[in-house]
């Protein structure tokens, strides 16, 4: 199995695990924000926004890897607001499927040399496309615990 096949399998596995964490989520739980006051710089996302974040992260890393592979300046990580029509678990699942497909299609076209070529990331650290793709999968898996905690919150009426 080629390096890229392993990376793509990791991406698919992480996405499948994340989607499994959404199984049976109600619309109310999908939109429920964690309780408490939000302090400056803090982000308390409902599951809805966690999904949006993961799709945007796929897109950002795809654009970063493409720019590095083509020798162009790296894009800034400037998240956009979620469109108002992307409100339901089913719509967000479709968004996640599309964002992951674009990342996987781009990744599948990279050769081993490009996957392992080092470049300076926006944070000043040396990275590779291989490392970024692995990080996308790990990052997604880390959000599963967040979804599970959000699903466990009682409805707002019970707080």
Per-residue pLDDT tens digits for 71-91: 999 999 998 899 998 999 999
- Show the low-confidence residues of the chain (pLDDT under 50): none
- Is residue 149 in some structural domain? yes
CA–CA separation, 19 and 17 (whole Å): 6
Cβ–Cβ contacts within 10 Å for residue 158, how many? 6
Length of the chain: 159
pLDDT (0 to 100) of residue 27: 95
What is the CA 14 to chain-centroid distance, rounded?
A: 10
Strand partners, 127: 119
The predicted model scores a pTM of 0.91
pLDDT (0 to 100) of residue 2: 83
- Is residue 38 in some structural domain? no
pLDDT (0 to 100) of residue 90: 95
pLDDT (0 to 100) of residue 36: 74
Q: What is the CATH number of the domain that holds 58?
A: 1.20.120.450
- Is residue 134 in some structural domain? yes
CA–CA separation, 72 and 34 (whole Å): 40
């Amino acid at each position: 199995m080629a390096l890229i096949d392993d990376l793509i399998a990791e991406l698919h596995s992480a996405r499948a695990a994340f989607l499994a964490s959404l199984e049976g989520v109600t619309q109310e739980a999908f939109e429920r924000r964690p309780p408490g006051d939000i302090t400056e710089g803090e982000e308390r996302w409902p599951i809805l926004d966690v999904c949006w974040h993961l799709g945007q992260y796929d897109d950002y890393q795809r654009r970063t890897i493409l720019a590095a592979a083509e020798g162009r300046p790296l894009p800034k990580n400037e998240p956009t607001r979620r469109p108002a029509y992307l409100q339901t678990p089913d719509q967000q699942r479709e968004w996640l499927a599309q964002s992951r497909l674009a990342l996987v299609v781009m990744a599948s076209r990279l050769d081993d040399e490009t996957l392992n070529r080092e470049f300076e990331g926006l944070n000043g650290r040396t990275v590779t496309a291989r490392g970024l793709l692995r990080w996308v999968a790990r990052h997604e898996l880390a959000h599963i615990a967040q979804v599970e905690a959000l699903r466990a919150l009682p409805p707002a009426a019970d707080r």
